[in-house]
Amino acid sequence: MKNLSFLAVLSLLALTLPFAIASDPSPLQDFCVAVNTPANGVFVNGKFCKDPKLVTVDDFFTSGLQNARPIANVVGSTVTPVNVTNIPGLNTLGISLVRIDYGVNGQNPPHTHPRATEILYVGHGTLLVGFVTSNGDGNRLFKKTLNEGDVFVFPEGLIHFQFNVGRFPAVAFAALSSQNPGVVTIANSVFGSNPAIDPNVLARAFQLDPRVIMDLQAKF
């Protein structure tokens, strides 16, 4: 009986594990082109599906990703997403793309994607990249300097970053395993939350004077 119970548990785990590890639900049809109105639509995975008879080739297409983006922020990078918002045909397909332009000394600051693994390809320039493992793994830092043509993977949910260490602007492209991977920029979330986190909470967490925390919060 114990062996049968053990086999039953294993069988149940085998059946449920694919659902537990999937970032996005698997599609139940060829495609589900997203629309922003419920008229004649079916709500699937956060979006309404367009009537398949009204779908066109342009629902699966966008252009212009070859063009460099202007950089006008303090971190020195611009992220251009290509996701379900830009290509409605991505809805339920579990994948998206970004282009990242880096100025000299620019960075894509420490952040996480709560719903996606990321694979990054360096198109031009030299980047220092890395990610930090979870508390249970000792918060280990995995870092590497990448050059043109190099590829690096950031596991789902882990804090990671890219920093342009070259003498010229850089560009990278990244694919993410979700139609809408989400992004949590660590500094913005901690010091720029709305409403603000009590400075005494952050002072204890970072072992800093509350006045230093308030100065940081004022920057965000």
Residue stretches of the annotated binding site for oxalate: 108, 113, 118
Strands (E) across the chain are located at 34-35, 42-44, 47-49, 77-82, 96-102, 107-112, 118-124, 127-132, 141-146, 151-154, 159-164, 170-176, 184-185
CA distances from 136 to 139, 160, 195, 205 (A): 7, 17, 30, 18
Q: Per-residue b/e over 62-77, b at no fewer than 16 CB within 10 Å?
A: eeeeeeeeeeeeebbb
Residues marked as binding for Mn(2+)? Answer: 111, 113, 118, 160
How far apart are alpha carbons 55 and 32 in whole angstroms?
A: 9
Residues marked as binding? Answer: 108, 111, 113, 118, 160
